[in-house]
Amino acid sequence: MMDVLRFRWLHGLAAISLAALLWPLPASSEIPAIAARQRVEKKSFSDAEIIEGFFKTSFGAEFQLAGRVDRIRRYDGPVRVFAGGNRADRKAQLARVVADIGEHVQHLDIVMVDRPEDANITVQLVRDRELYRTIAKDYGHDRAKEIKTSLDPQCLSGFRKNENYEITHSDVILTVDNGDFVFFDCAYEELLQALGPINDTSTVPWTMFNDEVSMGFFDVYDQYILNLLYDPRIRPGMTVEEVKAVLPDALADVKAWVRKTNNLSE
């Protein structure tokens, strides 16, 4: 059973065309809806804006199964991702997403693997009509009904943690037939939240962890959040006050890294 679940829903989705099933799907940067968002992306943030998003997404959770937990939860070692399903094109796109995350989070070792037994993140790629059957299989019919009633999601992720608040395993469910934008948007958000920042917030307008915001790419603001979470000074199990004590030094290093990897000016 997952300790924490989160899910995403999107409106006005178009079904994937037959042509897209027969030919390789584009990279995220080639999708017009994503490219348009990248052109207008906000990339400059104050320390207060970064810290607000970090605390709001890294503590608590959108849908708790085991009570509220106000402690840092993240992996404390290499992260290995396995994708199940028979859509080679979507697996290739998922591999690009994983590589992109790895390139932009300094202290995170994350790569794809070929065998499920080698993975601590398992991604199930399913058709939209199979989504609730998959959720019911993984979490039980009562929980699946509760999830459907609450948010009617398009994708879902959750993780288990140990007594030290280290994430030990994450499960992600993505639909493959709701179009390219939805696939990338869900893949980035669910994979990133499976790494720890599981709590959605409606009060931070720059993060993909806001259900009113759809990105489809790893935006600069969320790079700040993930790099803070995986900074070596911020450890699993830390409380808010413990994080505040190390945050100034961690934030200074994270800002330098994010600016460098995105070619941003001071």
Q: What pLDDT is recorded for position 102?
A: 97
The span from the CA of 248 to the CA of 61, in Å, is 24
Q: Which two tokens stand for residue 5?
A: 């679940």
**Within 13 Å and on the Cβ side, how many CA atoms surround 73?**
30
The span from the CA of 70 to the CA of 61, in Å, is 9
Residue labelled with tokens 């505040």: 244
Query: Could you tell me which residues are beta bridge partners of residue 158?
Result: 5, 171
When pLDDT is cut at 50, 70 and 90, the band that residue 64 belongs to is very low
Lowest mean pLDDT among 7-11, 24-28, 105-109, 206-210: 7-11
The span from the CA of 65 to the CA of 140, in Å, is 13
224, 254 Cβ separation under 8 angstroms: yes
Lowest mean pLDDT among 56-65, 140-149, 174-183, 210-219: 56-65
pLDDT of residue 251 exceeding 70: yes
**Domains with residue ranges and CATH for the chain:** 4-10+44-259 (3.40.390.10)
The span from the CA of 226 to the CA of 220, in Å, is 10
Strand arrangement, sheet containing 63-64: 63-64, 4-8, 155-161, 167-175, 121-126, 79-84, 110-112
Lowest mean pLDDT among 54-63, 74-83, 89-98, 255-264: 54-63
Segment 91-117 mean pLDDT: 97
Q: How many CB atoms sit inside 10 A of residue 248's CB?
A: 10
Residue labelled with tokens 């450890």: 235
Across the chain, mean pLDDT equals 86
pLDDT of residue 40 exceeding 70: yes
- What SS3 class is residue 97? helix
